[in-house]
Chains A and B, each alone.
Chain A
Amino acid sequence: MGNVLVVAEHQHGKFPKTTLVAFEAGKQLAKLAGGKCIAAVLGQGVDALAAAAAEYGVDVVAVDGAPFAHYLADAHTAALAELVKQKGVDTVIATATALGKDLTPRLAARLGAGMASDITGIVDASTFKRLMWAGNVIATVKLESTPRVVSVRGTAFDAAKKEGKGAVEKASVAPGANDTRMQFVEFAETKSDRPVLTEASIVCSGGRGLKNGENFTIYLDPLCDVLGAAMGASRAAVDAGFVPNDLQVGQTGKVVAPQLYIAVGISGAIQHLAGMKDSKVIVAINKDEEAPIFQISDYGLVADLFKAVPELTEEIKKLKHA
């Protein structure tokens, strides 16, 4: 007992940084609980992935088969619930990605487990910190059941490092008819050469101040390109239809904590700050000097973004070529 099961989410045959964050949280928790950290790799043809997971010093259980070729909440829940029983698991951890958010509550309900979502800290084996009310309150919560389920905020822990070599085993789990009713139809992937928003060391985000979607292309694209930055947006910009929702940074979108966050034409509603205020350095460019974003930015520039952003892009270009 005391074991921790980590959901090893993978994309394109790799573990994104968010998964390595779950490994790290899982290892910390297993240490506190005096158990093992076990990574669950579910999919079809996952031998290489299972071996790769073991390099992070965790034991690995691989579940291979057609029902897991695409992630679907029902089949994954059935398989993971079975592993929880087989492996003496006290706590299941996944990162609070779209997949993790979709999966973990369903699994908690199946296990009758207490659940804490999007945790930002581990206090002890059953006590966690999480944010509520758009990041305005830090709650310390104790899960009084066993097993327990938590999802981890992707920015709250470092990525696990490769160390040691865990044991790899295969588990045979076949979800029943009632757990294979959801069907994957298609995935329309947003094609981008830019870094992933949740992994980028620099993020440039645009808000309603950009006025329309074309201006994201005209003004923000070149700035992202010269910095090698990921592009983000405020909810207001998404609401107005300027950019897709998967660029949304904030309470109801993604949470980021890059080295540098540049907010362009974003007023700084509390819902937006909830998704970026842990960034190391925050720059705000806004023509309204009363905009709340300036209260939390390290460097604020009161200026018309349509003049300032091209100028900034040029200055950084010069600097890079110097």
Chain B
Amino acid sequence: MKILVTVKRVPDPETVIKIAPDGAGIVTDNVKWVINPFDEIAIEEALRIKEKVSGTEVVLVSIGLKTSQEQLRTGLAMGADRAILVVSDAALEPLAVARVLQKIADTEKPDLIVMGKQAIDDDSNCAGQMLAELLGWPQATFASKVELGGDQKSAKVTREVDGGLETDAVPLPAVVTADLRLNEPRYASLPGIMKARKKEMKEIPVAELGVDVAPTVKIVKLETPPKRTGGRKVGSVQELVQMLHNEAKVI
């Protein structure tokens, strides 16, 4: 089978985020860039399926600056077979991302698309669901377990929902988005890194796809939220309880 996995280049989660002086984005100097953590989980899940189902091809796709090559190369080093980079200088909103991915899926015809449930930069949690709709495919979001049917024509997916775990059955092709507990992503091995250098990475300028990526969402402004002031210490448990009871009046 063929599995398409999406990869987004994002600032390392430990990055201290500052708004750029022009107010249009964030300061990117000295930022360490990584694969969106949920996308790493998505790659791992595809690789585990590849290890079980012989003949499976794992294709990575990213949309962004040319520098996203780094993250795709890391995914190839983890074990994916080849990569596609749709080069776009402008950051695309989720609906435009979904339209680009739809076009890629039309060409690649995967049996399964695995994505991270959200990117940790814009925190939208949208692209997977949007892509499923555009393709007219079922979706199984926030997955913590994916079981493929024996014929690889369907999947049973356990999902992290409010108050418990829900299991849904979907026919393939489908879009699955990965939640935290789906798996523990592997590190790229040294041989993996060597092999990745020779794997195919195709670049496609976004304009060549003929997809409408015009924004429907305009960012009016970016602001830093007010800082919460804290820092007061209490000396003992007794003092804490007194403060909560008499001063804060919350217990």
Contact = CB atoms under 8 A, between A and B. Distances in A.
Contacts of A196: 163
A118 to B, nearest CB: 7
A188 B164 CA distance: 6
B219 A298 contact: no
A301 interface: yes
Q: Interface majority SS on B: helix, strand, loop or mixed?
A: mixed
A272 to B, nearest CB: 11
B139 A316 contact: no
A142 B217 contact: yes
Q: Interface majority SS on A: helix, strand, loop or mixed?
A: mixed
Contacts of A281: 244, 248, 250
Contacts of A280: 250
A252 B180 contact: yes
Given A105-B94, A281-B250, A132 B121 contact: yes
9 contacts: A109-B129, A140-B222, A141-B217, A142-B217, A183-B169, A281-B244, A295-B230, A297-B231, A297-B232
Nearest to B166: A187
A308 B232 CA distance: 17
A182 to B, nearest CB: 5
Contacts of A277: 228
B21 interface: no
Interface stretch (A29-37, A71-79, A161-169): A71-79
Contact of A133 (B93, B121, B144): B121
A interface, how many residues as a size bin? 35 or more
Contact of B224 (A113, A138, A145): A138
Nearest to A186: B167
Interface string A285-322: 00001000011111111110000100110011001000
A183 B168 contact: yes
Contact of A138 (B222, B228, B245, B250): B222
Contacts of B11: 133
B130 A132 contact: no
Contact of B168 (A185, A198, A260): A185
A97 B161 CA distance: 8
Given A136-B225, A245-B181, A252-B180, A298 B166 contact: no
A190 to B, nearest CB: 5
Contact of A235 (B156, B180, B228, B251): B180
A55 B30 CA distance: 55
Given A183-B170, A271-B13, A315-B237, A117 B221 contact: no
Contacts of A296: 228-231
B17 A144 contact: no
